[in-house]
């Protein structure tokens, strides 16, 4: 890629600092994304508290280009923890506006992630309801969840309506980007994955049918809110036998691009968000993101233990991904990270042997198609 030059310096602008246009109206000032991270600062009904606003003002000090606020439940039946942020009620909009304002004040583009937990929750959080595509227990590495109830066609259309209504609230709350959470084993991931979707109707039985609910939601939101930017957090693979493969995720990414999605945020799937055991160093999910970036025309966000500006420069310079998500490293000290890694020299300090593999899956097999 051609590097931009700063008028004040004779050296090239680092790739991580180059802008990226997402639409004619919205340009990210740099290639750094702060991904959704649960803050546990909402009240028991999902409303924003002063601590929530302070949290996002603090994250804004990292000077990222895009800051996506935490996963927010679209309906009580999709809530998965006690102090989770909600976007299920109109009365929550004033508080959500304060989050968007705090993000905008920092200079970042503001995003909000929408989710329904599906069967990956407990009845004490979800009003006694456990929804799922096929009544199959969601595999989780650290616990055994209750077997959920298979959804009726009426339930499916309720989900669609809840996501669309939540997107409308996000627009009214002044967010620029809405992200649909279809990864980490949560509800929409359960619809995509052959591990949890065994239906044989119009919403299951093939990859295209498994994706119907997600695609219908995307198309309806695009229809109702043409200026709104849409991102989907998509699994690169499920990291479980019989689950989504990288080839399946390429297909899904291409379908989402055709449906009008502006950004694809590649993470992990049914197996959850934790680091796959055999992958070391920064960027442990970059391999999948890079493959999807090669097969799509929309910007792809790569993630997975990314900590340094130098590593982001490598990714962007090589066109492996368009954007890099930095979570825990920024959460620890946003202002220092921004000064030292985004705007500073950003030496990675990693030896070649410590850098993540770019060609092997968790079992050692190449995933590159």
Does residue 186 have an active-site annotation? yes
- Spatial contact of 289 and 300, defined as CB atoms under 8 Å apart: yes
Give the separation between CA 6 and CA 18, rounded to whole angstroms.
10
32-86: per-residue pLDDT in tens? 999 999 999 999 999 999 999 999 999 999 999 999 999 999 999 999 999 999 9
CB atoms near residue 188 (< 10 Å) = 25
In a structure prediction context, what are the per-residue pLDDT tens digits for the chain, which is 369 residues long? 444 544 554 578 999 999 999 999 999 999 999 999 999 999 999 999 999 999 999 999 999 999 999 999 999 999 999 999 999 999 999 999 999 999 999 999 999 999 999 999 999 999 999 999 999 999 987 789 999 999 999 999 999 999 999 999 999 999 999 999 999 999 999 999 999 999 999 999 999 999 999 999 999 999 999 999 999 999 999 988 999 999 999 999 999 999 999 999 999 999 776 677 777 789 999 999 999 999 999 999 999 999 999 999 999 999 999 999 999 999 999 999 999 999 986 444 333 333 333 333 333 233 434
Token pair 């606003």 is at which residue? Answer: 53
Given the candidates 3.30.465.10, 3.60.21.10, 3.20.20.70, 3.10.150.10, the CATH classification of the domain at 18-347 is: 3.20.20.70
- Spatial contact of 284 and 304, defined as CB atoms under 8 Å apart: yes
Quote the pLDDT of residue 148: 97
Give the separation between CA 346 and CA 230, rounded to whole angstroms.
31
Q: Say which residues have a Cβ less than 8 Å from residue 247's Cβ, sequence separation at least 6.
A: 369
Residue 128: exposure state from Cβ atoms within 10 A (0-12, 13-18, ≥19): exposed
168-195: per-residue pLDDT in tens? 999 999 999 999 999 999 999 999 999 9
Give the separation between CA 153 and CA 215, rounded to whole angstroms.
16
CB atoms near residue 145 (< 10 Å) = 16
Give the separation between CA 313 and CA 336, rounded to whole angstroms.
18
Q: Where are the domains of the chain?
A: 18-347
Whose CA is closest to 349, among 336, 340, 362? Answer: 340
76 to each of 52, 53, 264, how far by Cα in Å?
19, 22, 26
Which of the residues 5, 56, 157, 186 is marked catalytic?
Answer: 186
């Amino acid at each position: 890629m051609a590097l931009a030059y700063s008028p004040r310096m004779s050296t090239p602008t680092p790739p991580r600092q180059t802008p990226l246009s997402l639409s004619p109206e919205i340009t990210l000032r740099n290639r750094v994304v702060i991904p959704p991270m649960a803050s546990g600062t909402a009240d028991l009904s999902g409303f924003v508290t002063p601590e929530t606003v302070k949290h996002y003002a603090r994250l804004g000090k990292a000077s990222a280009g895009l800051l996506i606020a935490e996963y927010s439940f679209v309906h009580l039946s999709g809530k998965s923890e006690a102090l989770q942020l909600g976007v299920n009620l109109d009365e929550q909009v004033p508080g959500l506006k304060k989050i968007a304002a705090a993000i905008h004040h920092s200079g970042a583009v503001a995003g909000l992630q929408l989710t329904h937990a599906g069967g990956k929750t407990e009845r004490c959080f979800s009003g006694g309801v456990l929804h799922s595509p096929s009544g199959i227990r969601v595999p989780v590495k650290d616990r055994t969840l209750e077997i959920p109830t298979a959804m009726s066609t009426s339930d499916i259309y309720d989900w669609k309506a809840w996501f669309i209504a939540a997107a409308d609230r996000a627009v009214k709350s002044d967010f620029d980007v809405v992200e649909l959470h279809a990864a980490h084993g949560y509800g929409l991931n359960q619809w995509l994955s052959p591990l949890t979707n065994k239906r044989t109707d119009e919403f299951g039985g093939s990859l295209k049918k498994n994706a119907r609910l997600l695609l219908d939601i995307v198309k309806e939101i695009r229809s109702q809110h043409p200026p709104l930017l849409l991102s989907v957090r998509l699994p690169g693979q499920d990291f479980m036998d019989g689950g989504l493969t990288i080839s399946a995720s390429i297909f899904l990414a291409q379908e989402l691009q055709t449906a009008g999605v502006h950004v694809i945020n590649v993470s992990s799937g049914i197996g959850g968000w934790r680091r796959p055991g055999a992958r070391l160093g920064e960027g442990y999910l970059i391999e999948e993101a890079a493959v999807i970036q090669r097969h799509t025309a929309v910007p792809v966000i790569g993630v997975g233990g990314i900590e340094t500006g130098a590593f982001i420069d490598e990714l962007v310079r090589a066109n492996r991904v368009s954007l890099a998500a930095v979570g825990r490293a920024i959460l620890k000290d946003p202002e220092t990270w921004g000064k030292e890694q985004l705007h500073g020299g950003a030496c990675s300090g990693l030896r070649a042997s410590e850098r993540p593999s770019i060609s092997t899956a968790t079992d050692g097999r190449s995933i590159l198609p």
